[in-house]
Amino acid sequence: MTPGGTPGAPGVVVVTGVGRYLGAHVAARLAADPRIERVIGVDPATPGPEFAGLLDRVERIRLDLDSLGGLLADLDVAAVVHLALATAPDPQQGGRSGMKEQNVIGTMQLLAACQRAPRLRKLVVRSSTAAYGASFRDPAVFTEETEPREVPRGGFGRDILDIEGYVRGFRRRRPDVTATVLRFAPFIGSTADTTLTRYFSQPVVPTVFGRDPRLQFVHFDDALEVLHRSVAEDHPGTYNVAGPGVLSLSQAIRRAGRVAVPVWEPGLSGAAAIARNLGFGRYGLDQVDLIVHGRVVDTRRLTREYGFTPRSTAVAFDDFIRAHHGGAVLSRDQLAMAEQMVLESIRQVRSAVRDRT
């Protein structure tokens, strides 16, 4: 079962959600690892053409998560990587109810199948720092032990709490399986395309009046690295995955050369609710809560156990800015130039006055 190499590396790995950006990249990366024999990508939909090249070494199976049980037993699957989570309602996939179906029901079905798979040794579940909720009484930095003070208002946050609850139950029932839960900060990077990267790509960025939340991001490549290590090595437990350091929202917007437009908070929540009810726009209360409260996590456990530190939030964000340079309204160079011009004109006036006297 175990091929040569690290004893922790599993033989057959199933990756769910390969029809999505993250799933496709993780599956491709695992397939390129010689320590892993087979990588099977599972998704109810056929992966889009943009991932075709990426997935040529991955065996793809078009399958709903409720019929996964037979597959896990038949193929002697040793590890399951669960990435099939929707972070925002997609009108094409049934909106919020479709999202909940996929996140919560999908995870329940997957865990039920895993529980009955005799050879399963490892389960890696993607979670999110949204698991900490958002409240004004929150501590500034969340450790893995911090309990959410309030149930999140946003759908994704509530799904994450449900999913983590099911994983806790799974851990009790199958203590022999190494279960890793990775709470990712929002992804960012030159290639990532998420709700948040689209938010920062707009020339004019709405913010909440009187709030300047502290944000953390994780670079997409670092997220891949952590997922890869979770499969190839043994790291039971729950981990925060985020770039160390903090950017405040206003700072991030200025670094990106965008213009912030403060909006009164109740108006923004209302707008998000209306947009959701009308079925357009992927911004929801999850995003509103993030830009009101912010979210900073402690990553010391990840660094200690994985021996890996993601690049810092500021560096990851810089990488994103370089790739999305086009929409900048006010760039760093322009500001430096303006500064030079003012200094230069002062100098000229000064010397002109001096010449006259």
Partner 1 sequence: MTEQNGHRRLTTPPVPAPPSRNGARPEPTDPALTRPAPVPKSAPAPAPAPTPKSVPTPKSAPVPKSAPVPKSVPVEPDVAGPSVADRPGDQWDRRVASGLAFLRRRLSGQYEVDEFGFDPELTGAVFHPLLRLLYRDWFRTEVTGLEHVPTDGAGLVVGNHSGTVALDALILSAALHDQHPARRYLRLLGADLVFRMPVVSELARKTGGTVACNPDAERLLGNGEVVGVFPEGFKGIGKLYSDRYKLQRFGRGGFVSAALRTGTPIVPVAIVGGEEIYPMLADIKPLARLLKLPYFPVTPTFPWLGPLGMVPLPSKWLIEFCPPIPTAHLTDSADDPLVVFNLADQVRETIQQTLHQLLERRPDPFGP
Which residues of this chain interact with partner 1, rule CB under 8 A? 136-141, 143, 146, 208-212, 214, 245-248, 250-255, 257, 262, 265, 294, 296, 330, 332-333, 335-336, 338-340, 342-343, 346-347, 350-351, 354-355
Minimum CB separation of residue 182 from partner 1 in Å reads 20
CA 285 – CA 265 distance, rounded (Å): 11
CB 212 within 8 A of CB 247: no
Using alpha carbons, select from 51, 40, 45, 52 the residue that is nearest to residue 15.
Answer: 40
Closer CB to partner 1, residue 198 or residue 347?
Answer: 347
**Measured between alpha carbons, how far is residue 263 from residues 123, 152, 210, 256 in Å?**
42, 21, 9, 19
Residue 335 beta carbon to partner 1: minimum distance, rounded to whole angstroms: 5
CB closer to partner 1 out of 53 and 326: 326
- Are 127 and 143 in contact by the 8 Å Cβ rule? The answer is no
Q: What is the distance of C-alpha 167 from the center of its chain? A: 19
Structure tokens at 229: 């290590």
In the complex, minimum distance from the CB of residue 264 to partner 1, in angstroms, rounded to a whole number: 9
Residue 326 CB, nearest distance to partner 1 (Å)?
17
| Residue 189: both structure tokens together | 């990077």
- Closest to partner 1 by CB, 163 vs 208, is 208
Residue type (1 letter), 306: Y
State the minimum distance, in angstroms, from the CB of residue 341 to partner 1. 10
Q: Is 310 exposed, middle or buried (0-12, 13-18, 19+ CB in 10 A)?
A: buried
CA-to-CA distance for 57 and 62, rounded, in angstroms? 16
25 three-state secondary structure: helix
Q: Which is nearer to partner 1, 226 or 297 (CB)?
A: 297
**In the complex, minimum distance from the CB of residue 142 to partner 1, in angstroms, rounded to a whole number:** 9
Place of tokens 């004019």: 204
CB of 265 to partner 1, least distance (A): 7
Q: Nearer Cβ to partner 1, position 145 or 176?
A: 145
Measured from the CB atom, the residue of 29 and 255 that comes closer to partner 1 is 255
| Contact criterion met (CB below 8 Å) for 288 and 263 | no
Q: Which is nearer to partner 1, 134 or 232 (CB)?
A: 134
Minimum distance, C-beta of residue 156 to partner 1, in the bound complex (Å): 24
Between 248 and 277, name the residue whose CB sits nearer to partner 1: 248
Max Cα-Cα span within the chain: 95
Dig out the tokens for 299 from the structure.
């990553």
Q: If phi over 0 gives left and psi between -120 and 50 gives alpha, with beta otherwise, what is residue 17?
A: left
3-state secondary structure of 22: helix
| Closest approach of partner 1 to the CB of residue 145, in Å | 9
Looking up tokens 């993607």, which residue turns up? 126
Give, in order, the Cα–Cα distances in Å from 132 to each of 135, 255, 268, 284, 348. Answer: 9, 27, 22, 17, 56
99 or 188, CB closer to partner 1?
188
